[in-house]
Structures are given as structure tokens and as C-alpha cells.
Structure 1
Amino acid sequence: MIYGKITLEDWRTACVEGEEPESSFESYNLRLFFFGTLYNRDTLQATPDDTNAKLAADAFLSDPAYGFSRLDGSFTIVYYSENECGVVRDHHGTHYPVYCHIDGNFATSWQFLEDQLEENFEPNLVSLSTFLQRGILKKNNFALFDVHSLGAGEKFYMLTELGYLMPVWASVKLETQAKVHSMFDSLKERNPSLYEKVADDIYCLKRDSVFEHEPKVATERNPDVETYSRRYGELHAQAIRRRIGHSRRVGILLSGGYDSGSNLAALRSIYDGQIDSYSVGFKGDAWTELPMARLMSETFGTRHHEYEIDGTEISALPDIVRFLGEPFMEGGLMVNYCAMRMIGDDKPDVILGGDGSDQYFGTSGREVALHYLAARIGLRPLLRGINRLLEHETFDTGGKLSRINFHLDKILHILEGERFGFSDSALCALLQNPKEDFEPVKSLRPDIHSFEHLYAQHAILSDLETVINRIILFKASSMARMFGNNLTYPFMDLELFHFLQELPVGLKCRGNSVLDIARGRSVSKYLLKHHYKPLLPEAITLKKKQGGFAPMPLFFRDRARRAFFKEFILASGIMDNYLRRDAVEKFLTDYEQVAEKEGGWFWHRQNKALQYFNLLTLVVWWEEFVEGHEVKF
């Protein structure tokens, strides 16, 4: 627990309370508290005597706007100076969550903040509606009013006049505070509109990104694959070396696919100590990857551990919601929970996860290509019309029209991330006041200058800023904290990120043409596969990708459990002024037919189960944090 206040008053004596910082730094012009760990001390040219706080302070003082972006780690930083103060999260938000009140008070628990301020935060119904659609809250919003959740790679901060003006007049030597005030007064006369903007910004709580994520389009007619491959392998091994340090025992999450296999192959090439591998499967799942995980364990000599999910694990949902403090749901959440729980008390020093590799290379190449081609030939208006028509519940049956609309939705909303949850029309039917409590997501403008431009834009806006930062690393790091495990992510290394940003798109998504990619004739993560294919068993490299999806209907297979959930949901106080009881009851009744029906299209059953999961999760959160009732399943 960390808590304090972002304030420019008495900055020399402002303190951060709760947990002791890993290190702190103080000079005549800056006080900084560092919580967490840094991985790239080598690239920061640290000496053995340099603390992490000192390195963070140097980065900030060299560039107050973006200096923290030089730091690669899992951390929270709180800093105070005469002209700026704030709190910062690491690039992907893998350290503590940070919540801030509008008055500048912050804490790593919003419940603690509410108690300290003796306030009762009201639920933000628009943000909760977004959760029902997507499994995550509305961007830059929280589940409650008057409290803000700090995103990955962001900072909450305040500025004085000098703090604001220094970047504007960076070339001007500001010698005295009086001179700054003089410049501020002259600005009022010369540029009143800019003055008003500055006046509104100073001494007020602001949110900004520390990391610049501008899509980079790298093309190269005949790239030297072997040179790129060697460099990628070096950077990946270096990322692992930085994270394991001098660990005597290392763990690894093993799925049976390329990413976890590449982590294991690279780890074994630099480390000959004990490795514990952990794999999670699903009982009765024909697509299970547990046999492939066992094969890799045997190939690289790990002590292997397995767990098979049977659906009863949903009883842990109230514990998960209480720990997270906010509604969140994604298909792999229960997998992460079970993996972290399986590790138990016999913990390795560090555990390597394979998260984020897909997204750093870029995903959905086929959908990106189809959107690009549809835009270039003017088909998007027609496709949007078909999409709106097929969204109606009449066509939501799992038949051919459902499949068409499923793929249309992914293609048309290419920059928004996958939308597993209630459609716009289905959500509005659930809400008592849809005009007030629902705001459609504003579509971003796709960059269709070329396929490469759209691919790079999708990789930043959807893959990185949404999927990595708000979904997969949020769930993975949260479940690791829940069980006290030191989980880290080599593929998220900052140097790897910059390397892949400059990598030609053709070495990320390999296809002979945009049309071929649109037809599904391409190789994703091409460079990674090229580098690691000779090092992994053929059974791994030759098998077709099976998806690795968690079969969500498994958790609702038991009829008695569904009856219990139905009674619990319909009795909730959430029906008083937010959800329509009749519409919710209809959804739950209709789900009975989906649950009892054998076979059918996987993604129809999967999405219905995810809708159920979103609804159940929201009701658990509401009962716990709005009604104040302890929930047990």
C-alpha cells in the first residue's frame, strides 16, 4: 500500500506513506521515491552505487516530459519538485494500480482512498456499461465517480507557471522566478488564448502519457532476415538475463506454443539451473496444449507442474473481484488465476511469462488487410450497414449470418480491440436508462495510406495500448500479486519494443501480397518463428495454431450452478436503478438453451459465455462495493 498527495505546497516536506520505497533520492531541486524494480540499469549506465531512485531522478531532470520513458521495469514513482510533482506508472502498468482523487490524494487502493477521505464514491454507470460490452472499463474512466485510475505508462501531475513554461521556452534561460512571472504576464497580452490554456493547466491535477506511442511504418524491399534474426535472439536473451539476474531457481509459464517455447529455449541457453514449468489445461478440451507443454518440458529439462480446469474454479470469482477492486473479465483470467494459485508456497525466485509477444509483432493481419482493401474500394459503408442489420438479436443464433457478422465486426472495428460482450443493441436492452448510461465507442480514423500504415496503427492503438496495457498484462500482473509471485515478461523488454518498432512489417506479418494476407495466407510473428524454429521440437513448430482459447462455457456447464447464479443476479440491488430485471432474466433464460445444446459454432457459445461472465462479474462487484454485501459462491 502506497498513499500520499500530489501537491506543490511544501514540496520539500511532502511524504509518501505506507510501504517503504525500494530507494529514494533527494537534492536541492527534487525529491523522488521509487517502488519496484528496474531491468535496464545497464543501458542507463548505472554504477553499483546508483540507486534506482537516483537513475529515475536523472532521467526526469534530463527531460521532465518524457525522461521516465527511458526506464524499463515494474515500478511506481512519486516525485516532488518546486515546479512539478506527480506519480508515475511503468510502461505496461505491471506494478501497483494507482488511484487518484480530484483533490490530488492518491493511493494504490481506491477503497483506502475512500476511507481516508470519508467519502462515498458513486458508481459510474457509463463506464460500467462499457465493461458489459468489453470486459474492461471505459478508457480514462473508473467504475466510480471522483476517483481516477492511472493507466499504464501514465502520470498524474501538477505544474507551476515555471513548470509549464519551461518546455515552451526551452531555449530561454530562466534565471529568476520574477522573470518567469514577467513572461507569464506578457503572454497574457500577446496571446490571450494560450494564456487561458496555461492558466487552466497550472496548479491543477493532470493526466498525461510518459511514453510516446507513435505508429512507425518500417518498410525494406529486401531485408536481411538473418541479421535481424540474430539481433532479435540477442535482445530476447538479454531481456531474460536482465529479469532473472542471479536467481538460483527460475519458473516459466508453459503453454505449448511458440512464445513460451521461445522463452524456454532462450532461458536454457543462458541458464543451467533448476527450472520449474507450469501449464494449465481444461478437462475434456480436445484442443488442450498440455501434451505439447510436456514435450517442451522434456526437451529442455524442467520440473513440470500441471493443472486442469474443470469449471468449479468459478467459485473463486468473488475473491478475484475483491482483490481487483474493479470489474474486469477476459477469457484468460481464470487461467492466470489457476496458474498463480498452482505455484503455491514453493515459489521460484522469478517466473517468466510469454505475454505480449503476439501484440508487439502485431496481430490480426488478415482483418487489417481486409479492412484496408474494403476501404480502398469503397466497401466500408455497405459493410457497416450489413453489420448494423445483423447485430439484431434475430440473427444472433450461431448460424451463418452470426459468423458473417462476427468477422465483419472485427474487420470494421479494427482499431478498437476485440469486443467480446454485449452488442450495442443487446446492451441497450439491458439498461433502464440507455440514453444516459450508454455511450457508443467513438471510432478512430484508420490510416489507409497503405496496408503497412494500418498495420502499424493497429499494433499501437489496439495491440499495445488496449490489449497489452489494459487487458493481458493487467490480468497477469494482478493475479501474480494476488498470490505473491514474482512474474515478469521478457517479451515486454523496452529494447525489444524499440527494435520491433523499427522492424519492417514484412518480418512481422509475412505474406506475398496484401490480397494473400487477406486470404489468410501469411505467417504472423515471422521473425520470432524464423529464429526459434530450429531450436524447438518439430511437433511444436509443425502443428497448426489451435488458438489457446479458454473454453468459457465450461464454467457454466453445471445446471445447478447456473440456477444459483440466476437467483443471485436477479436478487441484486443492481436491478433497482441500472439494469432491467426482465431483460436480464430473458438473457439468463435464453442462455439455458445455449448451455444445453450440444455442438454448435464455438465462437457463438464462447461469446454468450463471456457475456454471462461479464454480467456475473459486474453483479459481484456491485454487491461487494456498492451494496456492501460479502459475496460467496
Structure 2
Amino acid sequence: MIYGKISLKNWSVACVEGEEPESFFEGCGLRLFFYGTLYNRDKLRESPDDSNAKLAASAYLADPAHGFARLDGSFTIVYYSKNECGVVRDHHGTHYPVYCNKTGDFSTSWQFLAERSEEPVSYDAFALSSFLRRGILQKGRSVMCDIFTLDGGQQFHVSAEGWHKEIRSGLSGRFSKDLHGLERSRVFEYDSKVRTGKHPDVESCSRRYGELHVRAIQRRIGDSRRVGILLSGGYDSGANLAALRSIYDGGIDSYSVGFKGDAWSELPVARLMSETFGTRHHEYEIDGSEINFLPDIVRFLKEPFVEGGLMVNYCAMRMIGSDKPDVILGGDGSDQYFGTSGREVALHYLAARMGLRPLLHGLHALLSCKTFDTGGKLSRLNFQVDKVLHILEGERFGFSSSELRGFLQDEEYGKNPFKPLRADIRSFEHLYIQHALASDLEIVINRIILYKASRMAQMFGNNLVFPFMDLDLYEYLQQLPVSMKCKGDSVWDIACGRCESKYLLKHCYKPLLPEAVTARKKQGGFAPMPLFFRDRVQRDRLKDFILSSDIYVEYLNRKGVEKFLTDYDREASGQGGWFWARQNKALQYFNLLTLVTWWEEFMGGRKVSF
């Protein structure tokens, strides 16, 4: 843990308490504390002996407005100067979480700030209801009122110029000034331009992409003698392994996680990849009993968080144990850098251009009624309509606003605070880029997949890195037209599903990977969440725990929770049904269980075990 104060008062002797920094720089009217690591030292260093703090300081001094944006790594930076001071998070927030209060106190632990507050600090009911709705807390808010969070690529800072300095967002205008003298602003600006003109040569783009990917891996493994890799059996982990083998002939440990009884298991393909590239392979199969580790996860994260792959990341990191590789490569984020949901983006674009969005909104409102929530054909239709209409809002698994009304003692807390962006329908390409930034990058990468992956790695002391998140790789992809990311002959074809996602990556690595990987349709990768609640005895135990909590004294409505648990028991005894209907109900159960666990641990002060 680190902690300190963001203040220009006594800046020349200001210190950061707690953990010792990886390196420290003082000079040229600047004090800078660096925690973490830099990957692009080869681009930044003036001499081999330059510390990471020196490189960060040089970038800032050369360009105070944009210098930190040149840094690629996993880090937290605290800096003080006569005119400005602040706390900076890396591009995707893979280092420590950062919290700050209105008086400028910051810490990597919200508990630290709450315990030292001069006034009583209460839980943020709106943030918790946001978690029940989506599995993540409301953007910018922690579990406690008046304690704010910092997203990846942002900074809390204060300047001598105060609020006269306008910081603009690449997506949504100016940042809110909710910290009474402190500013929360973006360090890394995202390029939202649509590339037009002639399409570049695929072969040359493919070669360049491969070169940058290999360099990203080389930067992250350095002179490691032993390298690990997370292996799913898909293109992303396969590309990481193929690229790694092209520059590294040492021992590689590969790790794969599957699910017992899963007909779509990718474990056989992962084994084939291991055999092809010569790794020492390790596997683990989840059987559902792993739900008993949830209290340990909540205790470590100190805030409620749920995503379908959370237990996969937990089990992979736990499987590694004490015999750790120097560095472990993860394939996270590749889908989102290229852009996901091309079909839904195309459908939204076509619906908007044809004036059909009001009709879809009406259909969605009708089908969202409890009467039609049966998992049948109408539920499937509504699921797809919801994705198309809310294409810029990221993942939407959890309780709906109408469902939350029966869950909360105060219905006011259940209102959706999310203000949707206006869809940019100048062209399919404009909407695709907007979705890639607003949903894929800012929500899915920064707040979900890299958060869970990096935090689970930290929980077990593993050095997990993400080559596809390399800053040079990102900047190169932004220079390419959408057709290099989502390939289709027309917008209509893409809307019909006749398109190829991650086109450039697949073009680059298809010749290097086994046909079993390149020829198969993507069907795995989804964690079957009902598995964790399949056992009746286990459900009874969890139900007793949920209903015995004191969360009903002031926040949740006991009758609403009892009804949900009773309905789940009845539906769980049935067989079959639509996958996504069962998946969402199980995720709702996971959200509820996680929230109650968090409440007991941090509001009730009771150590939880199932």
C-alpha cells in the first residue's frame, strides 16, 4: 500500500508513505516516485543506467501536458512540483488501484482513507446498486461515499492554475470537477479518427503487426530464464505462443483452465498447442466447488466485482503455485483492441439510418416485461435487441432496473445513472471506432478484463503481462482502417454475421498455428456460470448465508431476495434451456452472493467462509 497527499504545500519535501518506490527522481524542480515497471525503456532511455523514475521525469519535463502518455508499463506515479502535483495510473490501470478523497488524500486502499477520515464514511448505495446491475461499480466511485477512484490512463492532480486549465476528453467533453480543488483528467488520449482512403497492403500490414507483437513480447520477457503463458486454445494465446517461440528457445510453462462436463472445452486444443510449440503443460478443471474461494477473492479485492471469467483467472493464478515462471504472458485485450460486436454495431447503424430505433426501443420495452422473460424465443430476441440498442454501454449482465426495484429498500438507489453516449452514425466506421473506444477499451479492457486478470495475478504474486496491450501495437492499429479489424464485403454482410473479426491478427498468424485452431469456429471461452450453483446442497448453504446477513437492515429487501433465491432453485432443477438465459441468472446469483459477502466482511466486520 502507498498513501500520501496531493498538495502543492511543501511540495519540495513531500513524500509518499508505505511501500518503497521502485525508483525515485529529484531535480529540475520535480520530485517523482515511481512504482511498477516500464516496458518501452528502449524508446525512452538516454543511457542504460537511467531509472524508471528518471525516464518518467524526463518525459514529463519535456512535455508536462502529454509526457506521461509516452510511458508504456504497469505503474503508479506520484509527482510534485511548484506548479503541479498528482497521481498517475498506467494506460490500462494494471498496477495498483488508486483512491482519493475531497481533501487530496490518496491511497491504494479505500479502507485507509475511510479509517482516517475526520467524519464518518458511509457506503455508497448508488455504487452498490450499479454493481448489482453490471458486476462493476459505478464509474469513478468507490464503495464509499466521497472516496473516488481513478481509472486506467487517468490522474488525480492539482495545479497552480486551478480550474482555468481545460482538459478535454477524447469521447465525452470535459471531466467533472467533483473533488473540490482536485482534477481527475485523462493522461492517455485515444485516437477516434476514422481512417479513409485506399486500403493498405494486407501483407505489409501483417508483417508490421507481427514485428510489433514480437517486440512487445520481447520487452516484457526481457532476459527471463523461464516464461509462462496462459493458453486457451484460441488465436490470441496461440499467437502469443507462436511469437514467443520465434525469439525464445528456453523452457515455457503453459497453463489452461477448463470446466468439467463442458462440451465446448478448449482444453484439447490447448494441449495440441502445447505439443506443437513444446511447452510443459498444466491444466485445471473447474467443477463448481470453487465458489468456496469467493470470500478470499472479495477479501483481497476489498470491493465487489463479478465477471464470467473471474474464477477462471483465479484458478489459473492459483494453479501456478510457488513454482513461478519469471513472467507469464496473457492474451487479454486483443479482441477489444481490434473491436468486438461488429454484427451488433452494423445492426445499430442500419437501424438508425432507416429510422427503426424507436421501433426497437418499443419492442425492447415490451419484451422486458416479466411475462416474456422465459428463456424462450422472445427472450432470445430481446437479448439481441438489447445488445443492438445499447451498443455503447459495454457488458450488461446482471439485474435490470425493474428487477432491482424489488431488491432494494429504497427504489431510488435502483435508478440507472448511466447517461448513454449519442451514437455516431455518420458511417459504420465512425460507430465501430466509437464502440471500440467507449465500450471495448474504456469499459471492458480497463474496468473488467485487465482489472480482474491483473488483480488475480497480484493476489498470488504472479508477474502477469499483456503483450497485446503494448502502446506501439495500439497506436499502429489506430492507423488502420476498420476493414483490417472487422472484414466484411458490406455493412449488410457484417450485420448478417458474414464477417471476420481480428482480421489482421488472423491473417498474420494463421500460417503459424495448427489447423485445429484456425479452422474451428469460436465456441468456447464462456465460463458456464450455472456450474457454481448446480449442487443443491451447496445452494442451500449459500442461501442460508445470504438470508442470515444483516444487509437487510438498511439496504436490501429480504422478500425480494427470498423470491429470487426460490425462483432460482425451481429453475435450476430443470434441464436444458437457453444458455444465455441460464448464464445471466447465474451471474445475478453471483452478483448477489458477492455483494452480501462484501457487506459481511467490510460493513459487518465478520470473516466469511462458505
Same fold (TM over 0.5): yes
Instruction: List, as ranges, runs of 4+ consecutive aligned residues in structure 1 with deviation greater than 3 Å.
Output: 116-120, 163-168, 200-203, 219-222
Does the 8 Å CA contact 2:45/2:55 hold for their aligned counterparts? no
Determine helix, strand or coil for the equivalent of 1:270.
Answer: coil
Determine helix, strand or coil for the equivalent of 1:307.
Answer: strand
Does the 8 Å CA contact 2:235/2:517 hold for their aligned counterparts? yes
Q: Give the direction of change, closer, same or farther, for the CA distance of 1:48–1:65 in structure 2 (3 Å limit).
A: same
Q: Give the direction of change, closer, same or farther, for the CA distance of 1:632–1:516 in structure 2 (3 Å limit).
A: same
1:300-321 Cα offsets, whole Å, 9 max, x none, are: 0000000000000010101100
Residue 21 of structure 2 corresponds to 21
Q: How big is the shift at 1:202?
A: 11
Asked if 1:61 is matched to 2:61, the reply is yes
Q: How big is the shift at 1:215?
A: 1.5
Asked if 1:42 is matched to 2:19, the reply is no
Q: How big is the shift at 1:164?
A: 6.2
Q: How big is the shift at 1:201?
A: 10
In the alignment, structure 1 segments of 5+ residues that lack a partner are 169-196
Distance 2:345 2:488 in 1: 13
Residue 439 of structure 1 corresponds to 416
Distance 2:372 2:85 in 1: 54
Q: How do 1:558-569 residues align onto structure 2 when only pairs under 5 Å count? A: 558-569=535-546
Residue 557 of structure 1 corresponds to 534
- After superposing the two structures, state which structure 1 stretch, 558-567 or 89-98, moved more: 558-567
1:140-185 Cα offsets, whole Å, 9 max, x none, are: 1111112111111111111113x766889xxxxxxxxxxxxxxxxx
Determine helix, strand or coil for the equivalent of 2:199.
Answer: coil
Distance 1:53 1:134 in 2: 37
Residue 170 of structure 2 corresponds to none
1:65-90 Cα offsets, whole Å, 9 max, x none, are: 22111000000000000111111100
Asked if 1:246 is matched to 2:223, the reply is yes
Determine helix, strand or coil for the equivalent of 1:331.
Answer: coil
Asked if 1:366 is matched to 2:343, the reply is yes
Determine helix, strand or coil for the equivalent of 2:139.
Answer: coil
Q: How big is the shift at 1:406?
A: 0.5
Asked if 1:256 is matched to 2:233, the reply is yes
Distance 2:346 2:248 in 1: 41
Residue 81 of structure 2 corresponds to 81
Does the 8 Å CA contact 1:277/1:304 hold for their aligned counterparts? yes
Distance 1:338 1:315 in 2: 12
Pairing partner for 1:282 from 256, 259, 268: 259
Give the letter for the 1:96 counterpart: Y
Which one has a bigger Cα radius of gyration? 1
Q: Give the direction of change, closer, same or farther, for the CA distance of 1:514–1:556 in structure 2 (3 Å limit).
A: same
Determine helix, strand or coil for the equivalent of 2:335.
Answer: helix
Give the letter for the 1:247 counterpart: S
Residue 283 of structure 2 corresponds to 306
Pairing partner for 1:294 from 261, 266, 271: 271
Asked if 1:580 is matched to 2:557, the reply is yes
1:444-465 Cα offsets, whole Å, 9 max, x none, are: 1000000000000000000000
1:409-436 Cα offsets, whole Å, 9 max, x none, are: 1000000012000112111221221124
Pairing partner for 1:500 from 477, 481, 503: 477
Give the letter for the 1:127 counterpart: A
Task: Provide TM-score, normalisation by structure 2.
Answer: 0.96
Q: How do 1:84-103 residues align onto structure 2 when only pairs under 5 Å count? A: 84-103=84-103
Does the 8 Å CA contact 2:543/2:565 hold for their aligned counterparts? yes
Distance 2:259 2:518 in 1: 22
1:189-208 Cα offsets, whole Å, 9 max, x none, are: xxxxxxxx9xx999812211
- After superposing the two structures, state which structure 1 stretch, 430-439 or 611-620, moved more: 430-439
Asked if 1:376 is matched to 2:348, the reply is no
Q: Give the direction of change, closer, same or farther, for the CA distance of 1:110–1:385 in structure 2 (3 Å limit).
A: same
Distance 2:25 2:485 in 1: 41
Q: How big is the shift at 1:216?
A: 2.2
Cα RMSD (Å): 1.6
Asked if 1:417 is matched to 2:394, the reply is yes
Distance 1:46 1:599 in 2: 62
Q: Give the direction of change, closer, same or farther, for the CA distance of 1:309–1:380 in structure 2 (3 Å limit).
A: same
Q: Percent identity?
A: 71
Residue 356 of structure 1 corresponds to 333
Task: Provide TM-score, normalisation by structure 1.
Answer: 0.93
Determine helix, strand or coil for the equivalent of 2:607.
Answer: coil
Q: How do 1:336-485 residues align onto structure 2 when only pairs under 5 Å count? A: 336-485=313-462
1:516-560 Cα offsets, whole Å, 9 max, x none, are: 000000000000000000000001100111141000000001101
- After superposing the two structures, state which structure 1 stretch, 566-575 or 77-86, moved more: 566-575
Determine helix, strand or coil for the equivalent of 2:69.
Answer: helix
Does the 8 Å CA contact 2:191/2:478 hold for their aligned counterparts? no
Does the 8 Å CA contact 2:68/2:187 hold for their aligned counterparts? yes
Distance 1:501 1:435 in 2: 41
Give the letter for the 1:231 counterpart: R
Residue 11 of structure 1 corresponds to 11
Does the 8 Å CA contact 1:30/1:79 hold for their aligned counterparts? yes
Distance 1:301 1:498 in 2: 32
